[in-house]
Amino acid sequence: MLTRIGRFSSTALAVLLLASCSWSPRPETPTPPPVADMTLPETVEGLTPVPGKPGVPPPPAPVPVAWSEVEGWHKDDPRQVLDALERSCRVLRRRSEWQQVCSDVIDFDGRPEPLVRAFFERRFTPYQLLRSVGNPVGLVTGYYIPDLHGSRQPSPDYPYPLYRLPDDLLVIDLGDVYPELRGYRRRGRLEEQRVLPYWDRAAIEGDHRPLAGKELLWVRDPVELFFLHIQGSGRILFEDGSWTMVGYSGQNGYPYRSISSWLVERGIMPLEKMSMQNIKAWARDNPSQVGDLLNTNPSYIFFRELPRGTVGPPGALGVPLTPERSVAVDPAHVPLGTPVFLSTTWPNSDRPLYRLMAAQDTGGAIKGPVRADFFWGMGDDAGIEAGRMKQPLKMWMLLPKEEPEPVPQAESTMLGTMGSGTGTAQEVD
């Protein structure tokens, strides 16, 4: 795909890129990985496949297991995921294997916990995901939707811009020229008929200001803005009490570089103390060094204003996320929309956390079969939980059975009775 082609065809641009540029082709990073392992994943473009490392065998296939082997299955209330699963079904019901399941999900809204649990056990098979043979333990981090104070006009109080997707940003599919590079993309810009790397963070925010005129909104704090780039979406609060949602629109093509590493290498903050909250506190105390810190990461995110009335951003599946029930996964291993069960611990704690969730999002840092990003919701409280979450994880995905088990007579009778009662109550109302 080519976002802007100017006077060149997609193929010509790819040839120029490979022949004349000093930067070699490699898979782009769709969204930057997180500081303190937090991210709101990319929601606009599909993920670019990344080749496996030489000599590293692929992870083993998921293993079907009995429900009794799903650690903590009976310690979470499956009714709490039904709203999120109904949203997934807006997409999944187009697939034949999901049609009946999605039809049944609606019927179980408002049902008692035992019936909902029985529905999942009868209609789904749990598959345990493995990092390697015999190793089921991976990593879960957290993300959230931040609130930033902002304005539609620049001022001394709001000097830091969010930028729209630039018109001159090229997105070149190298597979147009070399089939073996299918799925690889490069981003750049044209200058005197040469394809150059796009502007990095330091250039975009430097004195030259190459994107002047492409501002979308302005905000108060550069570090809060940086973390908005990390999360990918956010809510901008205006002084008159109104607000608007912004979401990911594109990226400049540079890989993410950790600002955490910059702090660790200089002895400013040990890795075990690294968190979003601690980084913000250090930045407030050291404003003269904030520019150097942030420019360590050349990756830059562009935004779009979401439609009026949007109360939360959609995930990669295209449906609104549900706080504490939506999770980001690697779609190379877990199909989007699929229910997944997480066995982990609460942030910065060894207290067990068992949660049935819906895989509705993706992220540049979320790679591998046992890797997840837990969506905590919106605002400061959600940010505290997300910023502290970096926990061990076991994960199972739930796939529809080809031949669902028959409904036991007692359950069928109970469903029929409740259905009649519900209908009567609606008529009375």
Which of these CATH numbers, 1.20.1250.20, 2.40.50.100, 2.40.240.50, 3.20.20.20, describes 10-55+145-305? 2.40.240.50
421's enclosing H/E stretch is helix 409-428
In 3D space, the residue among 77, 75, 83, 127 whose CA is nearest the CA of residue 105 turns out to be 83
Residues 379-399: pLDDT tens digits?
A: 889 999 998 899 999 999 999
Contact 146, 231 (CB under 8 A): yes
Contact 125, 401 (CB under 8 A): yes
What does the alpha-carbon distance between residue 392 and residue 344 come to, in Å, rounded to a whole number? 6
Contact 141, 373 (CB under 8 A): yes
pLDDT at 57 (0 to 100): 74
Q: Which fold has domain 63-142+316-359+390-428?
A: Barwin-like endoglucanases (2.40.40)
Amino acid in position 199: W
What does the alpha-carbon distance between residue 200 and residue 203 come to, in Å, rounded to a whole number? 5
pLDDT at 59 (0 to 100): 86
What does the alpha-carbon distance between residue 407 and residue 400 come to, in Å, rounded to a whole number? 15
Domain limits, CATH 2.40.240.50, in the chain: 10-55+145-305
pLDDT at 417 (0 to 100): 52
Contact 32, 237 (CB under 8 A): no
Provide the pairing of β-strand 160-163 with 352-361.
Answer: unpaired
pLDDT at 17 (0 to 100): 42
Q: Kindly tell me the sign of the dihedral angle through the C-alpha atoms of 27, 28, 31, 35.
A: positive
Place of tokens 């959600």: 382
Q: 3-class secondary structure for 299-328? A: CCEEEEECCCCCCCCECCCCCECCCCCEEE
In 3D space, the residue among 105, 44, 144, 34 whose CA is nearest the CA of residue 375 turns out to be 144
In 3D space, the residue among 315, 234, 304 whose CA is nearest the CA of residue 47 turns out to be 315
Contact 279, 223 (CB under 8 A): yes
Q: In 3-state terms, what secondary structure has residue 372?
A: strand
Domain limits, CATH 2.40.40.10, in the chain: 63-142+316-359+390-428
In 3D space, the residue among 58, 42, 61 whose CA is nearest the CA of residue 50 turns out to be 58
pTM exceeding 0.75: no
CB contact set of 364 (below 8 Å; sequence gap of 6+) = 29, 30, 31, 32, 33, 39, 41, 42, 47, 256
Residues of the chain with pLDDT under 70: 1-56, 404-429
DSSP string, 118-172: HHHHHHEEEEE--SBTTB--EEEEEEEE-EEEEESS-BTTB-EEEEPPPTT-EEE
pLDDT at 23 (0 to 100): 39
Q: Residue 69, Cα to own-chain centre: how many angstroms?
A: 28
In 3D space, the residue among 18, 17, 10, 44 whose CA is nearest the CA of residue 30 turns out to be 44
Contact 357, 376 (CB under 8 A): no
pLDDT at 11 (0 to 100): 40
pLDDT at 117 (0 to 100): 96
Q: Which tokens sit at 301?
A: 């995110």
364: left (phi over 0), alpha (psi -120 to 50) or beta: alpha
pLDDT at 180 (0 to 100): 76
pLDDT at 406 (0 to 100): 66
Q: Which tokens sit at 112?
A: 């008692």
| Bridge partners for 341 per DSSP | 356, 396
- Residue 336 exposed, middle or buried by CB count within 10 Å (0-12, 13-18, 19+): buried
What does the alpha-carbon distance between residue 342 and residue 258 come to, in Å, rounded to a whole number? 27
